[in-house]
């Protein structure tokens, strides 16, 4: 078949667009990586930056569920809590080194995701509500477990001498891994299949996409990272209890930060987290009692005026840039 | 020449309503089989049963010799069946290229080969300039063409078109007719539902007339045109 | 009959009535506006706090606080509709977007109540005379009996309104088919605002009743009532007010009887479990006629 007239220039154009995309991705990744690398060295606020990395990771994982796959798990904190308790129990009761416990936390998140998989066939609102209820069940089951295992109302102390800088760098590693996975996902065939299922699952089914399997893969990726985050944070703070591990505010912030940045892009959750965490810190310094109120009001304003988030609105305004911005 | 698709005794009920009441038809390679009938005759239901959206209550669907009767939609797609919809179901928040890539994501070919094939398809459909736009930015007629291109990507043997001309500008209709003729010339079996009898009679080698869930007549264009049962079904009641 | 079980049944009816009102107002909102009001629980608790504030500062009896709550929440709801909702209807996915927005509203409202009233549990120290009444072999606090009476009255009034008056029928028609009702000339925007205001008013009034029936409440109690609202709405079928009424009573009975036989801590799990089970098994609810997508 003779090549059409336009094929060669189109191919060159595609290659150059890809080059720009990956260059931008590398620059962003590099800046993020180097910045966080030097935070402890320059003695900047460790706690602030630790949690910034945590939220970037949580929002990015949520983006896989919501932006790429089209699910709004309002019970997202369940994965986080399960991961936190897994690490805590393994470290405290079985003497695991933390670095060995963390992959188990991730596995626990994946297992929970598998358990919740039957809910993936539910439509938008039903799924959101069920997700909320399932997280509530998780919390109640764990808080009702025997004191020796889960610490009852006092929680568990990990017992290891808390080494903040170590856990800081591990969090950085987790964050970079998450961002890498999401970058891969957004360009991969699985990513395209996910988005097709998100847009019209029945049509995707008729195009030969195995909807159930594709949804499951996306879901499990989304479940893995918050679980690991829970484990790392447990290590960082050295304590785990049901109130903080399964705090609904964790889901709230994850959702809001992800939406603020823009669902469906790699950079969206990063931008959203940076802006919102910075805003949160600013408010906290000036008006410590108003944080919660500002969060609520910010959400309402976001939905009303910037429903696609910062990056999403930018791309709406300049759609040609979609190919270049990760 | 053996049939590319056979439907035997297909029955589909929705509660008390019998939408398909024992449909019998078959279509061969390189032929366009027109399917006509008044609203509610069961045309779209028939397509939905064939491609697996609905589960038939009785009967069989055979594609290229394989019984695909109770298979899932994506399995049936892998048997070489493609379809379009009355109201286009494109992947709205994906680019045109990405829309075309979805049916071939599981192929072993390299990414760039698939992309080049997608671009070539878009060129044929005169959509190449918009290839990076999101599908929701297209007009209705353009979306129908996109659907057609997407359907053709995995090189199906049986294609089903549900009202491709509905609400489409006459110039675009002529272009679509050319494309459909090309599909048949390429050896594909085309099942074509339309109310646009002119286009149906022009494109189809044979026509099946559906009424109340049954094929009341099947034959050549002239045969059907003059068939009293068909005329009555359309103009009577 | 065992006294405990009898207590459970009586309490179940009383509590169930409250749940029914929460469910009815929530389902009305969803049915007409397709908005899942995540902040509904906060509306209810807002009513409780209003009654508390009126009682502590002005000595106003809760029964008198009821119409005050209803009217002020009606006005607030009307205003809130126009500020928040029209933009949403144009977005890509109005249901999820409204869910998100009401999520934000619920956080904001809880924060406001937290700022004004602080985190401590509050209760209204109002006693009826006599303090309790004898119902068969058991004693029930008069406050609860009165609340139950009012609950039934409101529920019946709402049902009568929906089925016997023109605006009520318009609401039901809007639930059934939003597009069609515009074609016949109904001002959907005004009707929607009315629905939002009505639902808010009922929620606020229910909050006053909550203060009479439950021992205490705090700014974070709202979340629990929102969840209960969802359970009742899903059980009764989305957009089905009569379904919500029956489901609320049923759920109240189930919850209270469960506490007779099971430890207290298990009760919320039962609730969540019912919600999950219903959605997975029969999403159209026990009485739903609106099938799932």
* Nearest-CA distance B141 → chain A (Å): 18
pLDDT at B46: 94
Average pLDDT, rounded, for chain B: 91
B95 CB neighbour count, 10 Å cutoff: 20
- The 10s digit of each residue's pLDDT in B123-177 is 999 999 999 899 999 999 999 999 999 999 999 999 999 999 988 888 899 999 9
Phi and psi angles of residue B134, each rounded to the nearest 5 degrees, phi first: -70, 145
Q: Which residues of B touch A6 (CB under 8 A)?
A: 119, 123, 128
ipTM of the complex: 0.88
Spacing of C-alpha A103 from chain mean position: 16
Start-to-end CA span in chain A (Å): 34
Q: What is the pTM of this model?
A: 0.89
The verdict on a CB contact (< 8 Å) between C272 and A136 is: yes
Phi and psi angles of residue A278, each rounded to the nearest 5 degrees, phi first: -65, -45
- In terms of residues, how long is chain C? 293
In contact, C34 and C94? CB cutoff 8 Å: yes
pLDDT at A153: 66
The answer to which of A109-118, A246-255, C254-263 has the lowest mean pLDDT is: C254-263
Share of residues in chain A with pLDDT > 70 (%): 97
Spacing of C-alpha B144 from chain mean position: 12
CA nearest to B107 within chain A: A189
In contact, C280 and A118? CB cutoff 8 Å: yes
Mutate to test the interface with A, among C96, C237, C238, C263 (most CBs of A within 10 A): C96
Give, in order, the Cα–Cα distances in Å from A258 to each of A72, A209, A279: 11, 27, 15
Distance CA A119, CA A108 (A): 18
The verdict on a CB contact (< 8 Å) between C99 and A125 is: yes
In contact, B200 and B194? CB cutoff 8 Å: yes
Strand order in the sheet with B58-63: B17-27, B5-14, B58-63, B66-67
CA nearest to B124 within chain A: A4
C90 CB neighbour count, 10 Å cutoff: 9
Q: Which residues of A touch B52 (CB under 8 A)?
A: 205-206
Start-to-end CA span in chain B (Å): 38
Q: Which residues of A touch C111 (CB under 8 A)?
A: 290, 292-293, 295-296
Phi and psi angles of residue A21, each rounded to the nearest 5 degrees, phi first: -55, -50
Sign of the Cα torsion C203, C204, C207, C212 reads negative
The verdict on a CB contact (< 8 Å) between C104 and A297 is: yes
Tokens 């759920």 -> residue = C251
User: What mean pLDDT is predicted for residues A286-314?
Assistant: 89
**In the Cβ-directed half-sphere of C202, how many Cα atoms lie within 13 Å?**
31
The verdict on a CB contact (< 8 Å) between C293 and A298 is: no
In contact, C278 and C33? CB cutoff 8 Å: no
In contact, A209 and B102? CB cutoff 8 Å: yes
Distance CA B26, CA B3 (A): 6
Distance CA C47, CA C147 (A): 14
- In terms of residues, how long is chain B? 237
Is residue A310 very low, low, confident or very high in pLDDT (cuts 50, 70, 90)? very high
Q: Which of A264, A290, A302, A260 is CA-nearest to residue A277? A: A260
Structure tokens at B74: 């994506």
The verdict on a CB contact (< 8 Å) between B98 and A6 is: no
* Nearest-CA distance C82 → chain A (Å): 12
A146 CB neighbour count, 10 Å cutoff: 8
Distance CA B145, CA B122 (A): 9
- The 10s digit of each residue's pLDDT in C135-190 is 777 888 888 888 899 999 999 999 999 889 888 888 888 888 877 777 777 788 88
Closest to B74 (Cβ–Cβ): which among A4, A192, A209?
A: A209
- The 10s digit of each residue's pLDDT in A20-40 is 999 999 999 999 999 999 988
DSSP string for chain C: --HHHHHHHHHHHHHHHHHHHHHHHHHHHHHHH----TTHHHHHHHHHHHHHHHHHHH---HHHHHHHHHHHHHHHHHHHHHHHSTTGGGSS-HHHHHHHHHHHHHHHHHHHHHHHH-SS-B------SSSEEEETTEEEEHHHHHHHHHHHHHHHHHHHHHHHSHHHHHHHHHHH-HHHHHHTT--HHHHHHHHHHHHHHHHHHHHHHHHHHSS-B-TTHHHHHHHHHHHHHHHH-TT-HHHHHHHHHHHHHHHHHHHHHS-GGGHHHHHHHHHHHHHHH-TT-SS--S---
Structure tokens at B174: 């002529």
pLDDT at A161: 64
Closest to A300 (Cβ–Cβ): which among C93, C108, C293?
A: C108
Distance CA C7, CA C260 (A): 9
Residue C227 CB contacts under 8 Å (≥ 6 apart), including other chains:
A132, A133, A136, C41, C271, C272, C275
Cross-strand pairs, B83: B160
In contact, C276 and A137? CB cutoff 8 Å: yes
Write out residues in chain C with pLDDT < 70, as ranges: 1, 285-293
- The 10s digit of each residue's pLDDT in A134-181 is 999 999 888 888 877 777 666 788 776 667 888 999 999 999 999 999
Distance CA A74, CA A63 (A): 13
Put residue A156 in one of left, alpha, beta given phi > 0 → left and psi -120 to 50 → alpha: beta
- The 10s digit of each residue's pLDDT in A252-265 is 999 999 999 999 89
Distance CA C77, CA C57 (A): 24
pLDDT at C291: 36
Does A243 or C179 have the greater pLDDT score?
A243
Is the confidence at residue A306, as pLDDT, over 80? yes
Distance CA A247, CA A81 (A): 8
Distance CA A285, CA A106 (A): 34
**In the Cβ-directed half-sphere of C46, how many Cα atoms lie within 13 Å?**
27
Pairing of strands B158-162, B66-67: unpaired
- The 10s digit of each residue's pLDDT in B10-52 is 999 998 889 999 999 999 999 999 999 988 888 999 999 999 9
Classified as helix, coil or strand, B142 is helix
- The 10s digit of each residue's pLDDT in B177-236 is 999 999 999 999 999 999 888 899 899 999 999 988 999 999 998 888 888 888 888 766
The verdict on a CB contact (< 8 Å) between C96 and A128 is: yes
Strand order in the sheet with B32-36: B81-83, B158-162, B189-193, B32-36, B206-211, B214-220
Structure tokens at C196: 């939002």
């Amino acid at each position: 078949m003779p090549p059409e007239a336009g094929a060669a220039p189109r191919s060159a154009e595609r290659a150059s667009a890809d080059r720009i995309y990956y260059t931008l991705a590398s620059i962003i990744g590099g800046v993020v990586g180097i910045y966080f690398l030097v935070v402890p060295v320059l003695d900047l606020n460790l706690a602030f930056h630790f949690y910034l990395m945590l939220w970037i990771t949580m929002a990015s994982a949520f983006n896989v569920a919501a932006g790429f796959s089209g699910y709004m798990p309002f019970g997202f904190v369940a994965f986080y809590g399960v991961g936190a308790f897994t690490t805590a129990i393994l470290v405290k009761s079985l003497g695991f080194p933390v670095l060995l416990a963390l992959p188990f936390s991730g596995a626990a998140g994946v297992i929970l995701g598998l358990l919740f998989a039957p809910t993936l066939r539910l439509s938008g609102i039903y799924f959101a509500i069920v997700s909320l209820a399932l997280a509530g069940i998780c919390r109640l089951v764990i808080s009702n477990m025997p004191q020796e295992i889960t610490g009852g109302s006092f929680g568990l102390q990990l017992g290891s001498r808390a080494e903040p800088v170590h856990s800081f760098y591990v969090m950085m590693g987790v964050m970079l891994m998450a961002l890498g996975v999401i970058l891969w996902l957004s360009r991969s065939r699985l990513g395209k299949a996910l988005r097709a299922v998100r847009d019209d699952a029945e049509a995707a089914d008729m195009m030969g996409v195995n909807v159930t399997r594709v949804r499951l893969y996306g879901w499990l990726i989304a479940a893995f990272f918050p679980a690991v985050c829970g484990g790392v944070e447990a290590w960082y703070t050295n304590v785990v209890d049901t109130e903080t591990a399964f705090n609904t505010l964790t889901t709230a912030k994850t959702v809001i930060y992800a939406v603020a940045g823009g669902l469906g892009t790699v950079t969206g959750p990063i931008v959203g987290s940076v802006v919102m965490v910075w805003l949160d810190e600013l408010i906290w310094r000036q008006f410590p009692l108003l944080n919660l109120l500002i969060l609520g009001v910010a959400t309402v304003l976001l939905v009303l005026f910037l429903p696609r988030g910062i990056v999403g609105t930018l791309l709406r305004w300049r759609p040609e840039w979609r190919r270049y911005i990760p | 020449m053996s049939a590319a698709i056979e439907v035997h005794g297909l029955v589909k009920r929705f509660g008390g309503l019998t939408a398909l009441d024992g449909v019998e038809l078959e279509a061969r390679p390189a032929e366009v089989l027109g399917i006509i009938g008044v609203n509610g005759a069961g045309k779209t239901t028939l397509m939905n049963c064939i491609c697996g959206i609905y589960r038939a209550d009785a009967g069989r669907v055979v594609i290229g010799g394989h019984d695909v009767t109770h298979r899932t939609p994506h399995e049936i797609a892998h048997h070489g069946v493609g379809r379009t919809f009355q109201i286009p179901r494109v992947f709205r928040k994906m680019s045109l290229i990405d829309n075309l890539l979805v049916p071939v994501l599981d192929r072993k070919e390299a990414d760039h080969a698939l992309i080049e094939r997608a671009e070539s398809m878009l060129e044929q459909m005169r959509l190449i300039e918009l290839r990076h736009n999101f599908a929701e930015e297209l007009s209705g007629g353009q979306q129908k063409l996109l659907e057609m291109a997407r359907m053709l990507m995995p090189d199906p043997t049986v294609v089903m078109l549900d009202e491709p001309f509905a609400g489409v500008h006459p110039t675009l209709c002529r272009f679509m007719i050319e494309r459909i003729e090309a599909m048949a010339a390429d050896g594909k079996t085309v099942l074509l539902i339309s109310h646009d009898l002119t286009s149906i009679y022009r494109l189809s080698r044979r026509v099946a007339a559906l009424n109340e869930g049954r094929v009341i007549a099947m034959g050549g264009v002239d045969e059907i045109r003059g068939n009293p049962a068909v005329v009555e079904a359309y103009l009577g009641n | 009959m065992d006294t405990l079980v009898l207590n459970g049944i009586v309490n179940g009816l009383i509590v169930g009535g409250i749940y029914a009102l929460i469910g009815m107002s929530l389902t009305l909102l969803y049915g007409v506006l397709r908005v899942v009001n995540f902040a509904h629980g906060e509306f209810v608790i807002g009513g409780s706090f209003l009654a508390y504030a009126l009682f502590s500062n002005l000595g106003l009896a809760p029964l008198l606080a009821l119409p005050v709550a209803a009217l002020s929440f009606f006005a607030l709801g009307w205003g809130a509709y126009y500020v928040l909702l029209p933009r949403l209807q144009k977005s890509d996915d109005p249901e999820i977007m409204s869910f998100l927005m009401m999520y934000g509203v619920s956080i904001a409202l809880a924060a406001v109540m937290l700022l004004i009233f602080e985190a401590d549990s509050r209760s209204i120290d109002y006693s009826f005379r006599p303090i309790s009444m004898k119902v068969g072999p058991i004693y029930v606090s008069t406050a609860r009996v009165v609340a139950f009476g009012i609950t039934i009255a409101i529920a019946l009034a709402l049902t009568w309104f929906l089925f016997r008056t023109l605006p009520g029928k318009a609401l039901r028609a809007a639930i059934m088919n939003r597009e069609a009702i515009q074609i016949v000339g109904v001002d959907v925007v005004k009707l929607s605002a009315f629905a939002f205001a009505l639902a808010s008013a009922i929620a606020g009034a229910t909050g006053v009743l909550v203060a009479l029936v439950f021992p205490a409440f705090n700014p974070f109690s709202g979340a629990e009532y929102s969840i209960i609202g969802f359970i009742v709405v899903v059980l009764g079928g989305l957009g089905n007010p009569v379904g919500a009424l029956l489901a609320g009573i049923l759920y109240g009975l189930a919850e209270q009887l469960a506490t007779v036989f099971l430890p207290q801590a298990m009760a919320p799990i039962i609730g969540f479990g019912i919600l999950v089970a219903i959605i997975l098994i029969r999403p159209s609810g026990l009485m739903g006629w609106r099938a799932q997508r």
